[in-house]
Amino acid sequence: MTIHARQVGKTSERVVFLHGLFGQGKNFTQAAKALRPDLTSLLVDLPNHGKSTWTDRIDYAEMADAVAEFLRAGFAANGPVHLVGHSMGGKVAMVLALRHPELIDRLVIVDITPGDSDGAGEFEHLLGSLVSIDLATIDRRSKADEALQDKIPSPTIRGFLLQNLRAGDDDRYSWQANLEVLRRDLATIGGFPELDATFDHPVLWISGENSPYVQEEDEERMRELFPRTRLVTIKGAGHWVHSEQPESFVSALRVFLLA
Which residues is 17 bridged to in the sheet?
A: 43, 84
Q: Catalytic site residue 220?
A: no
> Of 41, 87, 211, 243, which is the active-site residue?
87
Q: Catalytic site residue 209?
A: no
What is the H or E stretch that residue 21 is in? Answer: none
| Residue 126 burial (C-beta neighbours within 10 Å; 0-12, 13-18, 19+) | buried
> Of 19, 86, 239, 242, which is the active-site residue?
239
Contacts of 255 (CB under 8 A, 6+ apart): none
Residue 191 three-state SS? coil
> Of 146, 180, 209, 224, which is the active-site residue?
180
| Residue 1 burial (C-beta neighbours within 10 Å; 0-12, 13-18, 19+) | middle
Q: Catalytic site residue 239?
A: yes
Furthest CA-CA distance within the chain: 53
Q: How many residues are there in the chain?
A: 259
Which residues form the catalytic set?
Answer: 87, 180, 239
